[in-house]
Structure 1
Amino acid sequence: MQPLTPRGLRGVWASVLLPVRADEGIDMDRLAVAVDRLVAAGVHGVYTNGTAGEFHTLSDAEYDAVHELVAAACTAAGVPFQLGASHPSGQLSLERIARAVRLGPAAVQVILPDWLPLGEDEVLAAVARMAEVTDGTPLVLYNPPYAKTQVGPELFGRLADEVPALVGIKVPGGDAGWYGRMVEAVGDRLAVFVAGHTLASGRRLGASGAYSNVAALSPAGAARWYRQMDADPDAALDLERRLRGFLDAHIAPLARAGYCDPALDKTLAAIGGWAPIGTRVRWPHRWVDPDLVPALRARAREAVPELFTDGSAARR
């Protein structure tokens, strides 16, 4: 797989979500179906082991099995893929990086060690050590809002200076002031990926793409929306406005009720109906009752029908 560069890392990337059986195991047959549908959807790439992929729950054997399946499917289809080697333990993350790079991904995604907050020099040391283990494979750093260590634009600029293997970052995004600081600090040395449902407005301010929750809802629809951002940016912004309205009205209340991000993304996938993933997440987290999905699907189709014109919401 061709390694990614800051300029080449763009677009809508779809997360591999884990179909979980009642016995807590991963249903590899259903996972294979879901991955095949992702690679056929027209997204710019596929990635594993983000928060929505429940990376923090995986055994080593599960980690390897998921990655071997994804790498084989994406390689056969010619679709770029990134493998997540994140783990709250930095030492275990190094081990996972070493195993991931052997499968030839376009990049490896990591988080910072996450039990204790890190100082700036420790952040630099952590990312530099991870980059050494990638042995030439590019690195992408995920810094979500719930990470113990929050990295600001200026520290991202230092990382870009000192760790050439770092090609991209996954962050929540921010207001125009935040984007201005990011552009000043990193320029075009890092691809800045933001929340999927903010991508139309984010691209106008300097975002490169999204590891996308919209792709959880409809991978083909998210890819079409990205193309619309170039062809008809005003219409793309209008879709973003309506999409945010749907999420605020129907998904945010689930978050406030205590459902975790993987549960929310699996709910979006169930609403989209593009693959047999289900809403179940792994212990100890709760999952959304699938009986709620038909009503949510109807509201989604009313709000953003363009995302479903491929018929994905009718699949099971």
Structure 2
Amino acid sequence: MKFQGVLFFPVTPFAADGSLDEERLAQHIDSGVAAGAGGVFVACGTGEFHALTSEEIERATRVAVGTTAGRVPVLAAAGGPTPVARDQAARVARAGADGILLLPPYLVTSPQRGLVRYVEEVTAASEVPVVFYQRGTARLTTETAAEIAALPKVAGLKDGLGDIERMHRIVRAVRAVPGGADFQFFNGLPTAEMTAPAYKGVGVELYSSAVFAFAPEIALAFHRALAEDDQARIDTLLDEFYGPLVRLRDQVPGYAVALVKAGVALRGLDVGGVRAPLLDPTPEHVARLAKLIDHGLEVAGA
């Protein structure tokens, strides 16, 4: 399970009655794959994993697997309490996912050995590979990261902390062990393009792009510029689109998801609103987002 290119984290559409809208999810995923996604991570952070039932995660995974039809890898999320995460892992494997994005344990702060135990117990629930998401309550030491990376079903580590120095040490430690050269690292910060150049500098070139969900033209333009070390184009996109987007995102907690859903709707696919405890963007903020998208598309040459 190897990734390249822009990684697509689709939103989870909801119908007017609040239920999972499988038809619109299929449309959303199909358009993303057609646009050039390098992988689909369904029912994950941007897909409101926190607000989905395990049954909905399984259904969303089936939709993603059926829609992609083997064109790109499909991963789905599991996480939270160990029994719940194990059940979710078994469900998404049964639904045909190529892998699992394993989110941290719920609420508690655990010792490092407890984090290893958590990964061991969840990975035992299925045979598919796992990418472990370091964020929130899961802050790995260099030694723990290397131990988790050495587990037979762990194929990658996604970072949501933003501690570049810690991540640099982790990358170097994992790369130094047998088989470490093939291990995959991901930048999982919100609006990851803002930090992608820094992560690339420490050997982490893969990143999740929320922008790809509503403006793949912009996300792909940035990805090409990064791959080609086109610093002028990188700076222009950061200054004129991504930076203003982050300033808007930071206006309200939860906008890292809610703005993405609004962006998808602005581009022509009604995916409904967000579930509690998040809130949909205000009309003023949606209008600002619309102008940002228009300008971003112009800057990207789309």
**AA in 2 matched with 1:261:** A
CA contact (8 A) 2:249 2:255 kept: no
- Provide the secondary structure at the position in 1 that maps to 2:29: helix
Rounded to whole Å, the distance in 2 between the matches of 1:153 and 1:307 is 38
**Does structure 1 residue 124 correspond to structure 2 residue 78?**
no
1:284–1:151 distance in 2 versus 1, CA, 3 Å: same
CA contact (8 A) 1:110 1:141 kept: yes
Aligned identity (percent) is: 24
Which residue of 189, 211, 214 maps to 1:214? 211
CA contact (8 A) 1:41 1:219 kept: yes
Query: Aligned ranges for residues 48-197 of structure 1 at < 5 Å?
Result: 48-75=42-69, 78-84=71-77, 86-135=78-127, 137-144=128-135, 147-161=136-150, 163-172=151-160, 174=162, 177-187=165-175, 188=181, 190-194=183-187, 195=189, 196-197=192-193
CA contact (8 A) 1:200 1:229 kept: yes
Does 1 or 2 have the higher relative contact order (CA < 8 Å, sep 6+)? Answer: 1
CA contact (8 A) 1:24 1:283 kept: no
Rounded to whole Å, the distance in 2 between the matches of 1:220 and 1:164 is 37
The Cα of 1:121 is off from its aligned counterpart by 0.8
Rounded to whole Å, the distance in 2 between the matches of 1:261 and 1:249 is 11
1:57–1:174 distance in 2 versus 1, CA, 3 Å: closer
**AA in 1 matched with 2:291:** A
1:118–1:218 distance in 2 versus 1, CA, 3 Å: same
The Cα of 1:58 is off from its aligned counterpart by 1.9
The Cα of 1:43 is off from its aligned counterpart by 1.1
Structure 1 runs of 4+ off > 6 angstroms? none
Residue in structure 2 matched with residue 287 of structure 1 by the alignment: 280
The Cα of 1:308 is off from its aligned counterpart by 6.7
The Cα of 1:110 is off from its aligned counterpart by 1.0
1:176–1:65 distance in 2 versus 1, CA, 3 Å: closer
CA contact (8 A) 1:12 1:226 kept: yes
**Does structure 1 residue 269 correspond to structure 2 residue 264?**
yes
Rounded to whole Å, the distance in 2 between the matches of 1:67 and 1:274 is 23
Residues 182-219 of structure 1: CA deviation (Å, up to 9, x unaligned): 33222235322113222234223311311222223423
Structure 1: runs of 5+ lacking an equivalent = 310-316
CA contact (8 A) 2:61 2:96 kept: no
**AA in 1 matched with 2:132:** L
**AA in 1 matched with 2:145:** F
1:133–1:247 distance in 2 versus 1, CA, 3 Å: same
The Cα of 1:73 is off from its aligned counterpart by 0.5
**Does structure 1 residue 240 correspond to structure 2 residue 238?**
yes
Rounded to whole Å, the distance in 2 between the matches of 1:14 and 1:234 is 24
Structure 2: runs of 5+ lacking an equivalent = 176-180
**Does structure 1 residue 19 correspond to structure 2 residue 13?**
yes
Rounded to whole Å, the distance in 2 between the matches of 1:83 and 1:176 is 26
Residue in structure 2 matched with residue 314 of structure 1 by the alignment: none
Residues 125-170 of structure 1: CA deviation (Å, up to 9, x unaligned): 11112222232x21101123xx223224442122123x13211122
**AA in 2 matched with 1:262:** V
**AA in 1 matched with 2:243:** G
CA contact (8 A) 1:56 1:88 kept: no
Query: Aligned ranges for residues 288-307 of structure 1 at < 5 Å?
Result: 288-290=281-283, 292-303=285-296, 305-307=298-300
Rounded to whole Å, the distance in 2 between the matches of 1:120 and 1:40 is 41
Rounded to whole Å, the distance in 1 between the matches of 2:73 and 2:170 is 26
**AA in 2 matched with 1:251:** R
1:134–1:306 distance in 2 versus 1, CA, 3 Å: farther
Q: Which stretch shifts more, 209-218 or 42-51? A: 209-218
CA contact (8 A) 1:90 1:112 kept: no
The count of corresponding residues between Structure 1 and Structure 2 is 292
Rounded to whole Å, the distance in 1 between the matches of 2:243 and 2:217 is 21
